[in-house]
Amino acid sequence: MESQSLSQRGSWGSKAAFIFAATGSAIGLGNIWRFPMVVGENGGAVFVFVYILAVALIGFSVMLAELVIGRHTQKNPVGAIHSIKPRSPWKGIGYLGMVTGIAILSYYAVLAGMLAGYFVKMISGTFRGTVTSQMTEKTFTDFSSNPFLVLFFFAVVLFITTYIISKGVKGGIERYTKVLMPILFVLIVFLAIRALTLPGAGEGLKFYLKPDFSKLNFKIVFFALGQAFFSLSLGMGTMITYGSYINKKDNLVSSAGWVTFADTFIALLAGLIIFPTLFAIPGISPDSGPSLVFKVFPLIFSKIPGGQIFGMLFFMLLLVAAITSTISLLEVPVAYFVDERKWSRVKAAVLMGLCAAVLGIPSALSWGGVKFLTKWAFWAKVDFIFGNIALAFGALLICLFVGWVWGVKKAVEEIKSGSEKFTIRRIWIFSIKFLSPIAILYVLIKIIIG
């Protein structure tokens, strides 16, 4: 019986398949759009420094905690926590994660849609000839404030996401991630090299990598932590869900390590493209926020022979990276309805996709399409509440659950299956029981009481 229900849920074909899927979830707009945005808004290199600490000390530990819950129970977040601690309020972690996932998906798919729009722009030759920063600014404003275009591309992205999820884990996620992510990686390295060799790139490099610690403040720590959770897909059960498809023989520690490393590496490279370019071709401010990458990437392509082709390829691959992330956001609630409520995958995928569609409409219109939503920065509010606060809160609960409720002893036992040595056991236990929850609680309390 048990094994039958397992095979109906599907599982990864191999450890490599899991790593590709989890890396696919982690790497996305969080790395290439959101990371440069928050770095630019929070003083540059100081932020980068705090971010790396947050990833290494907290992000990695939370990732391992989520994976271990998932693999131990082989269930969606709600079911997983229920089977460890039946009839307890801790299940709330799962419900909170589902809501958070849909909320993040709603504005994330809008952005992914805008990238699809930029892919089309690259094909149609919008950025042919001389490209200036004034021009990229105007192109972005014209595009993002056209409600029909933004809504159209948003719908396309949600449709693709829902379609892939309705096909299930093995048929869906695995196939799409294996081939395209490595190509994106090579392209990003290439672009970083080009950006670094632009005359005047040095100033940008300084802004990005030479920390001025006198600028360090609490806000930086808060956003660095939020960004770490967002970028690593933590705090809402994605990694519990993905972990639930991992084989008992696989090494969870090295899996978590690899995903954390790859994700951070790509984010750091994205910054190496954006900031040198930005300073070498003046006109765009590092703190221009969410429009930063839309304005800067066309500039770097204009500095490369055959840049239009690279631009096309880049926006296409970025869209693929975004979709491997959107499917992981949708998979969490869908896995719940399939496992716990016995819905069909198709029904669950379609209904959850529709929820994200409805919630995403005001976000899509807050990029210039509708005045009052734009002024209110609707999508940015959703990003702040769900992409920072809710993820941090979810991560806090996961630490407390694993560290104190389920208990690290049992978790360590599960981790040891496939990773007998688990040499960093002590550090992980310290982080999950003390360091991570205290740090998260501290920033949450401080941000909420102001």
Q: Which spans of this chain sit near ligand TRP (rule: CB under 6 A)?
A: 25-26, 28-31, 104, 230-231, 233, 236, 238, 325, 328-329, 391
* Type of residue found at 404: W
Residue recorded with tokens 């996709």: 353
* Distance in Å, CB of 280 to ligand TRP, minimum: 26
Phi-psi region of 87 (alpha: psi -120 to 50; beta: other; left: phi over 0): left
Q: What is the DSSP letter of 384?
A: I
CB of 192 to ligand TRP, least distance (A): 18
Is the CB of 324 or the CB of 366 nearer to ligand TRP? 324
Q: Which residue number, 101 or 307, has a Cβ lying nearer to ligand TRP?
A: 101
Nearer to ligand TRP, 191 or 240 (CB): 240
- Minimum distance from CB of 193 to ligand TRP (Å)? 23
Q: Which CB sits closer to ligand TRP, 34 or 82? A: 34
Q: Which is nearer to ligand TRP, 281 or 331 (CB)?
A: 331
d(CA 420, CA 250): 11
> Which is nearer to ligand TRP, 161 or 308 (by Cβ)?
161
Name which of 233 and 288 has its Cβ closer to ligand TRP.
233
Least distance (Å) from ligand TRP to the CB of residue 264?
Answer: 11
**What do you get for the CA distance between the two ends of the chain, in Å?**
53
CB of residue 129 to ligand TRP, shortest distance in Å? 32
For residues 429 and 411, give the distance between their C-alpha atoms in angstroms, rounded to a whole number: 10
What interhelical angle do 77-84 and 307-340 show, nearest 10? 40
Q: Which is nearer to ligand TRP, 31 or 436 (CB)?
A: 31
Q: Are the CB atoms for 336 and 79 separated by under 8 Å? A: yes
Question: In whole angstroms, what is the distance from residue 318 CA to residue 152 CA?
Answer: 18
Q: Where are the alpha helices (DSSP H) in 55-173?
A: 60-73, 77-84, 92-124, 133-144, 147-166
Tell me which residue of 238, 299, 255, 332 sits closest to 28, measured CA to CA: 238
CB of 3 to ligand TRP, least distance (A): 29
Beta carbon nearer to ligand TRP, 391 or 399:
391
Nearest CB to ligand TRP, comparing residues 242 and 275:
242
**How far apart (Å, rounded) are the C-alpha atoms in residues 379 and 394?**
20
Q: Among positive and negative, which fits the CA dihedral 338, 344, 347, 349?
A: positive
- Residue 275: both structure tokens together: 């900031």
The distance of closest approach from Cβ of residue 87 to ligand TRP in the complex, given in angstroms and rounded to an integer, is: 27
**Measured from the CB of residue 174, what is the shortest distance to ligand TRP in angstroms?**
16
DSSP 74: T
Phi/psi-derived region of residue 196, left when phi > 0, alpha when psi is between -120 and 50, beta in every other case: alpha
Cα(108)–Cα(1) distance, integer angstroms: 39
Query: How far is Cα 80 from Cα 70, in angstroms, rounded to an integer?
Result: 7
Which residue, judged by CB position, is nearest to ligand TRP in the bound state?
Answer: 30
The minimum distance between CB 32 and ligand TRP, in angstroms, equals 8
d(CA 225, CA 228): 5
Minimum separation from the CB atom of position 95 to ligand TRP (A): 15
Helix axes 436-449, 391-400, angle to 10 degrees: 140
